[in-house]
A = this chain, B = another copy of it.
Amino acid sequence: MNNIRVFLVDDHPVVRAGLRAMLGDLEGITVVAEAADGGAALAGLARLHTLGEPADVVLMDLQMGAGMDGVTATGRIKAGEAGEPPPPVLILTTYDSDADILAAVEAGASGYMLKDAPPEQIRQAVLSAAAGGTALAPEVAARLMGRIRNPEPALSAREVQLLGLLATGMGNRAIAKQLFISEATVKTHLVHIYGKLGVDNRTAAIAVAAQRRIIRRP
């Protein structure tokens, strides 16, 4: 049969119920399983796989940190089962900071939707992902477009990553250890970041980055 089998991953029972109600009523889509965190998700995906009825799409909430691992781990399933492509991962989150989007895309997500999206948009995204395509929320797409259009000096992925750590209040030394690089390198990156953001200290960099939604405010 031509039914799209969806796996829900979200730590909020309310959200899972909402997605179930929203997607389950639709022709051609079936919610086959759910999980509340990344670990349970991987276990569930493996179980479905051994049962011979793998999920077609993983719809996953992007929680800080834990969610991202889920994406990469899902991608790694492929490595173990050569020939079997891993199910596309569709990110569904509340925030739309550049850092999150870049991290998700880099980790191999095939879509990035916002939770305040209308139901039809989410359905379309699921269908698109299942068909092997990609799906970006209009807001997200607009952000990326503007990023290309504008001569606003683009921060490299590494620089954005650094900004994220910066915003947590870590010192240069702590950041260096976290990223397995030297303090000198951290300082070099910071100088570049300051230049691109038109700023001359770390707090101002955080302020600008938060305002431009380059990083997210927790």
Residues on A lying within 8 angstroms of B by beta carbon are 11-22, 92, 94, 115-119, 122, 166-171, 199, 201-208, 210-211, 217-218
- Residue numbers in B under 8 Å from A203 (CB-CB): 166-170, 202-203, 206
- Residue numbers in B under 8 Å from A18 (CB-CB): 12-21
Task: Summarize A's interface: helix, strand, loop or mixed.
Answer: helix
- Residue numbers in B under 8 Å from A21 (CB-CB): 17-18, 20-21
Q: List 21 A-B contacts (CB under 8 A).
A: A12-B18, A13-B18, A14-B15, A14-B92, A14-B122, A15-B15, A17-B19, A17-B119, A18-B18, A18-B20, A18-B21, A168-B203, A169-B201, A169-B204, A169-B205, A170-B203, A170-B204, A203-B206, A206-B206, A207-B217, A211-B218
If A18-B21, A218-B211 touch, whether A13 touches B116 (CB-CB below 8 Å) is: yes
Say which residue of B14, B202, B207, B218 sits within 8 Å of A22 (CB atoms): B14
- Residue numbers in B under 8 Å from A11 (CB-CB): 116
- Which 10 A/B pairs are nearest by Cβ-Cβ distance? A169-B204, A18-B18, A17-B18, A21-B21, A14-B18, A169-B207, A169-B203, A12-B115, A217-B217, A17-B21
**Interface pair B208/A169, CB less than 8 Å apart:** yes
What's the Cα separation between A18 and B15 when bound, in Å?
A: 6
What's the Cα separation between A210 and B70 when bound, in Å?
A: 26
Find the B residue at minimum CB distance from A114: B12
Minimum CB–CB distance from A208 to chain B (whole Å) comes to 7
Minimum CB–CB distance from A65 to chain B (whole Å) comes to 13
**Interface pair A13/B202, CB less than 8 Å apart:** no
